[in-house]
Chain A
Amino acid sequence: MAQENPRQRRELWRLFTTFFKIGAFTFGGGYAMIPLIQRETVETRKWITDEDVLEIIAIAESTPGPIAINSATFVGSRVAGVPGALCATLGVILPSFVIILIVARVLDAFQHLRALRYAFFGIRAGVLALILKAFWNMYKKCPKGVVPYSIAAGAFLLAAILKVNVLLVILCCAAAGLITSALRARREEK
C-alpha cells in the first residue's frame, strides 16, 4: 500500500496534466480533439489502444454530453477508476475555464470601443456561416431515408414554427426513433 500510493498519485497527476494539455490545445469542439487524444493517450502515454479511441467515438455518439467530457471521463476511469475520471475531466475543463474568464474580462473592458462593436457586427454574420457548415456536416453523417428525414422535418417544425420546448422535441424524436426501429425489426422478423 505504501508503495502504491505515490505511484497512484503520479498517475492521477499525469492524467490531469495530459488532459489539461488536450483542453488547452483543442479549438472548436467534439471531434476536433480526437486526433490530439489519440496522440497523447495512445502514442505518448500508452494508456489505451487505437481500438479504444474508436470505442470512445462510438460511445460519445450514443451518450449525452460534450465529447470532450465523455472522452476525458472514459480514459480517466480506464486508467485510474473514479478518481482518474475526475482528474482527467477537471484537466480538460480547466484551461477553457481560465481562458474564458480572462477573455470575458478583456472584452468587457473594451466594449465601449467602436471598432470592437463593428468587429462583432461582422463576426455575427460569419458565425451564421459556421453554424450552417456544422448543420451540413451533421446532415452528411445522418442516415438517409424517409424516416430520418421525417423526424428531422418534424423536429424543425415543432421547434421553429410551433415553438415547442426543445427538450420535449428531443424526447419526442427519441420515442419516434425507438418506435420506428422496433417496427422495422418486427417487419424483418416476419
Chain B
Amino acid sequence: MIFLDLFWTFFKIGLFTFGGGYAMLPLIQAAVEEKGWLGAEELLNFIAVSESTPGPFAVNISTYIGSRLGGIPGAACATLGVALPSLIIILLVARFYARFRESRWVKGVMSGLKPAVIGLIAAALLSLGRTVFFPDGLGLEVLGTPVFLVSLGIFLLTAVLAFKKVHPILLVLLSAALGIGAGYLLL
C-alpha cells in the first residue's frame, strides 16, 4: 500500500529532522534509496526543483516525491506525514516551552544532534557526489571524460558563487544554462 508507506516514511522523516532545510536531506536520501523509490540522479533533480520553487524546501520535496509515486493522493500522504510530527509536538510543547527548552534532557540530546546532522550531511554529499562525478561507478578512466570535466567545472564555479552568497535560484539557473551549453557543444 503505497499511500500508507509514503505517510509513515515521511512521518518518520519529519520526526527525526532537527534544524531546517537540508537537515532533512540525509533522511530522505536514505529512505528513497532503501525503498528504491528514486535513483540518486533523480533525487538531485528533485532537490533542485524543490530549492527553486516557492515554499519551504521540506514541504516541496515531500510533495514532489509523493506525487511521483502516488499522484495527488500520494503527494497529500507524504506532505501530511512530514508535517504531522511537528504539528503534534509544537502543540504539546507550546504551553510549557520555556521549561522544555531549559530542560537538561533536551539540551543534552540537542548537543548530540547538532553535530550528528553535520556528519550525516557530509555522508549524503559524498554519496550524491559519487553519482554526479562517477555515474557509471568509480574508476580512473572517468577522469578525462567530458561528463566528468563539465560536472566538475560547474560544481567548482557554483561552489565559489555559493560561498559569495549568490542566491541559490540564480545558481540553479546558471548551472542549467551551462549544462545546456556544454551538452550541445561537447556531448
Contact = CB atoms under 8 A, between A and B. Distances in A.
Interface string B1-20: 00000000000101111111
16 contacts: A86-B87, A99-B53, A101-B72, A121-B179, A135-B121, A154-B119, A155-B119, A156-B120, A158-B119, A159-B30, A165-B30, A167-B12, A170-B16, A170-B116, A173-B115, A177-B112
B52 A27 contact: yes
B114 A103 contact: no
Interface residues of A, number: 100
A64 B89 CA distance: 8
Nearest to B58: A66
A122 B153 CA distance: 10
Given A66-B20, A130-B172, A155-B115, 12 more contacts: A27-B53, A68-B58, A77-B91, A77-B94, A96-B59, A99-B54, A100-B50, A121-B147, A122-B180, A152-B116, A166-B16, A167-B27
Nearest to A154: B119
Contacts of B109: 174, 177-178
B108 A156 contact: no
A33 B93 contact: no
Nearest to A82: B91
A63 B115 contact: no
B122 interface: yes
B47 to A, nearest CB: 5
B111 interface: yes
Contacts, number: 394
Interface of A: 23-33, 55, 58-70, 73-74, 77-78, 82, 85-86, 89, 92-93, 95-97, 99-101, 103-104, 107, 114-115, 117-136, 138-139, 141-143, 147-149, 151-160, 165-167, 169-170, 173-182, 185
A124 B45 contact: yes
Given A96-B54, A134-B22, A169-B120, A115 B180 contact: yes
A159 B119 CA distance: 8
B158 A27 contact: no
Contacts of B163: 133, 136
A69 B112 contact: no
Dominant secondary structure at the B interface = helix
Nearest to A141: B114
Query: What are the nearest 9 A-B pairs in CB distance?
Result: A122-B179, A30-B20, A177-B112, A65-B86, A96-B55, A118-B183, A126-B175, A155-B119, A29-B57
B30 to A, nearest CB: 4
A30 B19 contact: yes
Interface in B147-172: 147, 150-152, 154-155, 158-159, 161-163, 168-169, 171-172
Contacts of B132: 124-125, 128
Contacts of A23: 54-56, 59
